[in-house]
Structure 1
Amino acid sequence: MADDPFLNKDNLMTKSAKKSSSVYRMVVLMIVMVCGVYICSICLKQLNFQTKSRFLSIVIDRPCEPPNIEEWEAPYVHFPGPQTYSRAECRCNPVRYFAILSMQRSGSGWFETLLNSHINISSNGEIFSVKVRKSNASTILDTLDKIYNLDWYSSAAKNECTAAVGLKWMLNQAEILARYKPFINSTLLIPNLRQVEDMSTQALEYFKSTRHIVVYYEDLVQNRTKLEEIQDFLRVPRRNLESRQVKIHKGPLSEQVENWKDMEKTLKGTKYESFLYGDYRK
């Protein structure tokens, strides 16, 4: 009786080996596919993250949009970049520069404290009263750079969202002590008033091509809406401005001058006569 070739032991072992090999191949293929899918998902996540990072970087580095202002106002709008800190979210907020030109004993100190009570205004006082800061052109420019670049530290310094920054410059530097009653030379009174008037006229003439606003002490005392006009000039939100400065001259003018009668006699009948009736008791 002949043996059946299909029932041969060697044939059975070969078929079993072939079947096991196919299973192994399938397992390896599945593992490779799973690994491939996992690696692809990781790559896609990394690519997506890098794309977002590049997009965010572009947004951060994007220059500030032009502010919504009139064309004539463009030269007066600035975007300072302080060296000592970051303006953060306010870096695209425009800043306007200003200077207060004033005679001494004219109420400019009180006016400045009113400005500094506004959260977005920083007026740094008589910066150039310190001699070394005005010793030469280089020190003057360096000081102005620090002020207008928002790098100047003073009691008036605000935060990164400052919208108007400036200083005060006195047109005269005569010192008058408030606790004394001055004795005014009536002979020189009219010439001195003319000199002050000429000085003010020259200052206005010099700055006529520069955007400016004229503020009188009488405006601040008698017309409180003038402060709103000043805030509009500086393009800052309107706020109720206050000052803690105490007025040192109280009572009528006739009680503030030693030789008041001589002054009356000198000024009556002149264009300066109205100065005799300026009674600012507030």
Structure 2
Amino acid sequence: MVEDMSCFLYKLSTGATAKFMESNVIHNLTPGRLKQTHIPNILHYPEPLSFNRNECAPNPVMFFAILSNQRSGSGWFETLLNSHTNVSSNGEIFSVKERRQNASSVLQTLDRVYNLDWLSSASKNECSAAVGFKWMLNQGLMEHHMEIEEYFKRRNVSVIFLFRRNLLRRMVSMLANSYDSHAKLLNGTHKSHVHSAEEADILSKYKPFINSTSLLKDLKDMEIKSAKALQYYNSSRHMILYYEDLMRNHTKLKDVQEFLGLPERELTSRQVKIHKGPLSDHIQNWDDVNKALTGTEYESFLEADY
């Protein structure tokens, strides 16, 4: 156990968020990293309508949700999870607006996922031991947080927060991805994620221009949004991960598997990182950005972080 949410929000209000993001003030506010045998209340025995679990029916299933922001490593992280033979993480299902148009449609969609009636390429069907999906903060999570948090607690959904410490790198990735959605640099095709060094090199050649005038406010807004998500969902069983930690230390994946009550496996992904090396290589107006952040609480974002 560590400092509570009030401490985190105080740090936000006093402008010390960057220091918080570096110091891991919060890891778990509720019990985590426990063996399944110690937490039987979060295990489920779903009875799907679309298929029969057959011999796997006696095997319990844990429900989870990955809460994250775009361009924070959630796609890569989900491919790692899905490389586990017992995990079904069903992608960004609330990217479809109709599924999040109101609280009722959100809860109906959640029921389909956790009843195992959501079929996707990731579905392991009857023998899944952990079932979930990834959910971006701008896809109804904040608007309907009261109903969703009540649902998470009622159905004992375990939450994995995945954030990115270096929000400047996230901004570069967002702007570059937005540009490619129109430019389609890879032979007329837009790809948010790539699987070869050649493709990554092509996409990384585009250098976005960052508004240095509004940069401090933009970074603060990004922090506050993540803080609100933590505040809204902190009473659910959860763990907090940072993209940078996963990149530096793959043993963090052992913690995730333990949190989900899974037998430990080596997790793999074919995805290749696009923006490598110093940020000065990836920002068109680097001098302006460097000047805007030097001497501020965000100065560390200018440095290489892995």
Query: TM-score, with normalisation over the residues of structure 2?
Result: 0.65
The aligned residue for residue 92 of structure 2 is 126
Q: Which residue of 2 aligns with 1:41?
A: none
Q: Is the 8 A contact 1:123 1:168 kept in 2?
A: yes
**Aligned pair 1:219/2:245, yes or no?**
yes
Which residue is equivalent to 2:105?
139
| SS of structure 1 residue aligned to 2:222 | helix
% same residue: 61
Partner of 1:108: 74
CA-atom RMSD, angstroms? Answer: 1.9
Counterpart of 1:177?
176
Shift of 1:139: 2.6
Match in the other structure for 1:241: 267
Q: Deviations over 1:237-265 (max 9, x none)?
A: 11110001122223322111111111111
- Asked if the contact 1:183/1:258 (under 8 Å) is kept, the reply is yes
State how far apart, in whole Å, the 1-side matches of 2:44 and 2:237 are.
15
Aligned residue for 1:240, secondary structure, equals: coil
The alignment of Structure 1 onto Structure 2 pairs a total of residues equal to 212
Name the residue aligned to 1:269.
Answer: 295
Is the contact between residue 88 and residue 160 of structure 1 (CA under 8 Å) also seen in structure 2?
yes
As a proportion of its length, which structure holds more helix? Answer: 1
> What corresponds to 2:119 in structure 1?
153
The alpha carbon displacement at 1:114 in A equals 0.5
Quote the Cα distance in structure 1 between the aligned partners of 2:298 and 2:138: 20
**Corresponding residue for residue 232 of structure 1:** 258
Spell out, residue by residue over 1:202-238, the C-alpha distance to the aligned partner (whole angstroms, 9 max, x if none).
Answer: 1111111111111111111101110000000011111
Distance (whole Å) between structure 1 residues aligned to residue 113 and residue 120 of structure 2: 10
Q: Does 1:191 align with 2:217?
A: yes
The amino acid of 1:153's aligned partner reads L
Asked if 1:84 is matched to 2:83, the reply is: no
The aligned counterpart of 2:37 is: 69
Deviation at 1:102, TM superposition (A): 0.9
The worse-fitting range, judged by mean Cα deviation, of 184-193 and 249-258 is 249-258
Q: Distance in 1 between matches of 2:239 and 2:294?
A: 30
Tell me the SS of whatever aligns to 1:177. Answer: helix
Counterpart of 1:203? 229
2:283 to 253, 257, 263: 257
Where 2:214 maps in the other structure, the secondary structure is helix
Structure 1 residues not aligned, in runs of 5+: 1-66
Deviation at 1:68, TM superposition (A): 6.4
Q: Identify the structure with bigger relative contact order (alpha carbons < 8 Å, sequence gap 6+).
A: 2
In the alignment, is the contact (CA less than 8 A) between 1:253 and 1:279 conserved in 2? Answer: no
CA–CA separation in structure 2 for the residues paired with 1:150 and 1:278: 42
Tell whether the 8 Å contact from 1:79 to 1:93 is kept in structure 2 after alignment: yes
Letter of the structure 2 residue corresponding to residue 167 of structure 1: F
Looking at structure 1, the residues matched to 287 and 263 of structure 2 have their Cα atoms a distance apart, in angstroms, of: 47
State the partner residue of 1:54.
none
Unaligned runs of 5+ residues in structure 2 are 1-34, 140-170, 178-202
Q: Name the SS for the 1:270 alignment partner.
A: coil
Structure 1 residue 69: Cα displacement: 2.4
> How far 1:90 moved relative to its partner?
1.5
Alpha-carbon distance in structure 2 between the residues aligned to 1:186 and 1:100: 31
Q: Which amino acid aligns with 1:215?
A: L
Q: Between Structure 1 and Structure 2, which shows a larger proportion of strand residues?
A: 2
SS at match of 2:267: coil
